[in-house]
Chain A
Amino acid sequence: MDSDRNLFPFVRIVGQEEMKLALLLNVVDPSIGGVLIRGEKGTAKSTTVRSVERILPPVPSSTGCRFHCDPRNVKNLCEECKEKLQKGELETYMRPMRVVELPLNATEDRISGSLDIEQVLATGKRKYEPGVLADANCNLLYVDEVNLLDDHIVDLLLDSAAMGRNNVDREGISFSHRSNFILLGPMNPEEGNLRPQLLDRFWMCVDVKGDINPDVRMEVIKRRLAFDEDPESYCQEYAAESDALREKLETARKSLKDIKISDDLIHQVAIVAIRFGMEGHRSDLAMIRAARANAALEGRNEVEVGDIAATAGMILRHRVKGGTFDQSTFKQEDLLRCLRGL
């Protein structure tokens, strides 16, 4: 893709450690299920999210499939791929994951897909034309200013995010396909809150602030200027670094299955969830998965308490009760105290 070339390299983003960690954890274990990024304008939210594309490890995908089915996951292949598989014609290739963007003004039919008008008029046959949600399958879905989406678009996302499937029943079309994506949503909280239901669909949440240290700001500006001057050679310069990070992510991803989690730790997560008044179980699972991904990222083969301490905040922050009105009632100290058994 042409636009790839002009993406700011992820490895050159200054600071914003938590946001970067959240994104990396999601890449390592996509089942963590998405990040909500809250922060004021101009704090590199969108830049960072877009730049993730440069470090995404390749995934297997079936050739010629509109939904980029993952051939390892036989159960969830689309009808076409299933047919191919039966005939023994299913071919696969490795493709880089992509960041698919959902523009704010996208219409319903382009998101969920709709009737292929050309086909109908030419042949009189109905055919489904896939939309953004099809494109997003096995990819990252990036919704800028997610809090400004119209309600009926949010509803669409909810449906897919909940089930990993997009069900279309409109305009004479009845179709269902997998749409399993990592949801990335930067938002500016000044513009209004998210509906609680969508909030919960983001398994993680990070708050981003601009740094007030002049030296840090200087560095940010210098790098940006250097990039703007000659994006191509700037990216070239840091290509090796980006490749190294990509490989690290790939290794971490592969090691995920072999990472051990002690019963004690799982119990501790449960205690944390109860202490912070979590109702559903999504938070518990997310905490364990995030801690596991963190261990994988650091190259360990066992999850430690430190992994939970480092990641649980991102999961609890937006779920703590009362969070609707106060930006965050979650305190890291409380988490540490809880982990220490106090």
Chain B
Amino acid sequence: MPERTLTGDWEGIIGLDDAKTAFLCMMIDPQIKGLIIRGPAGIGKTRLSRAMAAGSGMETYNLPLNATEEQTFGSLDIDAALRSGTMRVEPGILGRAEHELLCIDDVNLFDRKFIHTVMQAIESGRVRIERDGLSDSYECNVTVVATVNSREVALNRNVSDLFDMSVTVVGSTDPDFRVAVMRENLFDDMRDDVISEDTKKRVAEARELLPEVRISDDMMYTIIDGCVRMGVKGYRGELSSIRVSKALAALNGHRDVTLEDVYEGMYLCLAHRRERNFQWTEKKPNEVNFYTGSHIKRFIHDERKANLKKDEPEQVAGINDEVDAVVSEVETMMSRAAKSRSPELEEVVVKVGEKFESIDLLEESRKDKLDKTLMRKTISDDGKDGRYTSSRPMTRPSTDIAFDATVRAAAPYQPLRRQATGRDGVIIEKSDLYEKVREKHTSCLLMFMVDNSGSLVIRGRMRAVKAAILSMLEDHYVRRDSVALMTFNEQRIGMDMAPTRSVGGVKKVLDTISTGRKTPMSEAILYASNFVSAYLMKHKGEHCYIILMTDGGANIPLEEGNDPFEESLRIASNLKMERTGWIVVDTKANPEPDSKAFKLSAALGAPYYVLDELKSTEQELGKPHT
């Protein structure tokens, strides 16, 4: 049978050095509680997390993806209640893992609310229970190692903030390295779990040294300055960095935290907390002002970029005006050409540009103004399918009985009832019955509504639009949602791809989308709204997001004589659509702050994004392990 990564030898796991360092920090200072290992599948994340536990002599507890709340946080001790009617808390996984290691695989796949509660309990060091007629709390000192597969949905930022450290692992392109990994794993999967005596000794010494380690104000300022520059929200970044730096200093055997420790600490603690659009670059000594060390191998804010951004808007606005003028001129030309059936201008087909790692729009817009009821992923469901997450007293007849909760509810009364009835076994009455609360991933239709009028072609933006669509699909919505594609221009408003769960055809369709001519914005919005309403009528329980990719420039009105743009705004603000959310992506390069697309997004009540800002910077964080 496949003997996979259940156990492993710490020293035998090649690479993943950052993760190992991070783990040593957790062993040195139990106050450092959480580590995220992020990377593609099959890189050794899970194996390392198991080896950590085994090697450190801690017990490993797993938090399974389908763990119920009762089992995780704790609940009434059924046995005690049945036997003697005592109300006592039986701790959940969080209690059982006290002073041990908790592994959470695929932490990004958990229900957000659930995992947030788990991490908060761990951070605060206390689990509180208010359920089943119990009110209690117990201590919770747990070290957490979580893994995230970088090909799946991203981990919620509020959740990841509760982890002290994160490391990102990327695949190696060094043949010798890969040979070594193969050699190591090919024949012998069953190894004893060891962290070498040397390393253990180092950790033990570091632990002793830790109380004496001091961090100077200068170093703390370095950390604070770094956090501010990186746009880290809240103080967790600073606190974690300081703790980890101290642990690193202890590990390296000095009493004073050095600049090197600080940089390493920040590297481990801030990667998942920095602002998304923050640019990391390789450190170049002459560009550093505050940082004086010449050995910072990782990343430092690129000053030039920041300065550039400040000066840009005015310039850009000027350029945009010029482009606008040219665009409208060419559009008119194209319109005229189309009327005279000029073959060379009939169709302009643009190929798909380079794909990139994109951010998850839905995830992002959660923070903004999207309707809370429209959240993707889970809703409580009345059906019998879905994940059983918790239970509630049965109020109407149901066959979906939560037996554990029912027995729990009945348990305290058992001695009494047995006395009263003289019967054995568990006596359950109707009032004890609990039913299961199930949560189900709701399907969601993502409709890309792409403005393929002339203005986009001329600005050369169509490639970028197509690349963005593909990247978003690939990164976040594969297999989870249905996708549809609609385009609009003067000639045609319509669906290029009907809603489907198979995204295989998207690329082909995208490749053949033609662009050209003017923009009938009002009509397109109405078309989209009609289509989606009809779709949602048929698909009860689904939600829809319309991702409108446009520069906002409307120039064909619905009614002759109207101002096309004003009209589209009016229509947009009067739309009433249930279970539907709009997201506007401005396709202009460097749009001015109050661009047309922005105004349109305001009218639609939609979050607003700029095309070029969709790229997530996560990939740049990866560091080949050599």
Contact = CB atoms under 8 A, between A and B. Distances in A.
Nearest to A162: B46
A195 B2 contact: no
Contacts of A326: 504, 507
Given A197-B149, A285-B185, A117 B403 contact: yes
A201 B149 CA distance: 12
B493 to A, nearest CB: 25
A144 B385 CA distance: 18
Contact of A197 (B41, B92, B178): B41
B244 to A, nearest CB: 27
A194 B82 CA distance: 46
B479 A192 contact: yes
B624 to A, nearest CB: 11
A273 B178 contact: yes
A194 B407 CA distance: 39
Contacts of A115: 403-404
B502 A269 contact: no
A207 interface: no
A270 interface: yes
B105 interface: yes
B534 interface: no
A282 B42 contact: yes
Given A193-B503, A274-B175, A281-B182, A156 B388 contact: no
B403 A120 contact: yes
Contacts of A73: 1, 3, 190
Interface in B164-215: 170-171, 173, 175-176, 178-179, 181-183, 185-186, 189-190
Contacts of A126: 78-79
A155 B65 contact: yes
A192 B502 contact: yes
Contacts of B171: 278-280
Given A33-B2, A176-B62, A270-B182, A281 B407 contact: no
A152 B178 contact: no
Contacts of B297: none
Contacts of A271: 175
Given A31-B189, A197-B106, A279 B40 contact: yes
Contact of A195 (B5, B71, B152, B506): B152
Contacts of B70: 172
A281 B88 CA distance: 48
A107 B400 CA distance: 12
A75 interface: yes
A276 to B, nearest CB: 11
Contacts of B544: none
Contacts of A197: 41, 106, 149, 151-152
Contacts of A170: 64, 66-68, 71, 388, 404
A141 to B, nearest CB: 11
Contacts of B507: 325-326
B170 A162 contact: no
Nearest to A194: B479
A244 interface: no
Contact of A151 (B176, B182, B441): B441
Contacts of A216: none
Which bucket holds chain A's interface residue count?
35 or more
Which bucket holds chain B's interface residue count?
35 or more
Nearest to A163: B6
Given A167-B62, A169-B63, A189-B502, A200 B41 contact: yes
Contacts of A280: 39-44, 171
Contacts of A282: 41-42
Given A151-B441, A267-B179, A162 B5 contact: yes
B93 A174 contact: yes
A164 interface: yes
B402 to A, nearest CB: 7
Given A193-B504, A270-B179, A327-B504, A31 B2 contact: yes
Contacts of B67: 169-170
Given A174-B93, A196-B152, A197-B151, A152 B40 contact: no
Nearest to A138: B1
Interface in B454-480: 470, 473-474, 478-480
A172 B407 contact: yes
Contacts of B82: 124
A152 B441 contact: yes
Contacts of A120: 403, 407, 426
Contacts of B579: none
A284 B1 contact: no
A131 B404 CA distance: 17
B66 A108 contact: yes
A259 to B, nearest CB: 10
Interface in B496-547: 500-504, 506-507
A109 B438 CA distance: 12
Which of A31, A158, A167, A176 gathers the greatest number of chain B CB atoms within 10 Å?
A167
Contact of B6 (A70, A165, A273): A165
A180 B3 CA distance: 8
Contacts of B125: none
B65 A156 contact: yes
A293 to B, nearest CB: 12
A139 to B, nearest CB: 9
Given A273-B178, A281-B178, A285-B186, A109 B71 contact: no
Interface string A117-158: 100111111100000000001100000000100111001101
A182 interface: yes
Contacts of A107: 384-385
Interface in B358-388: 384-388
Nearest to B441: A151
Interface string B400-442: 0011100110000010000000000110100000000000110
CB-based closest 9 A-B pairs? A280-B42, A282-B42, A279-B171, A172-B404, A192-B501, A200-B41, A270-B178, A279-B40, A169-B71
Given A162-B105, A164-B3, 14 more contacts: A168-B64, A169-B63, A170-B64, A170-B71, A170-B388, A171-B388, A172-B71, A172-B75, A173-B71, A196-B152, A284-B181, A288-B186, A289-B186, A325-B507
20 contacts: A120-B426, A124-B83, A167-B62, A169-B63, A171-B388, A171-B404, A172-B70, A172-B75, A191-B502, A192-B479, A193-B504, A196-B478, A197-B151, A267-B175, A269-B178, A274-B178, A281-B182, A282-B42, A324-B474, A325-B506
Interface of A: 30-33, 70, 73, 75-76, 107-109, 112, 115, 117, 120-126, 137-138, 147, 150-152, 155-156, 158-159, 162-165, 167-174, 176, 180-182, 189-197, 200-201, 261, 263, 266-267, 269-271, 273-274, 278-285, 288-289, 324-327
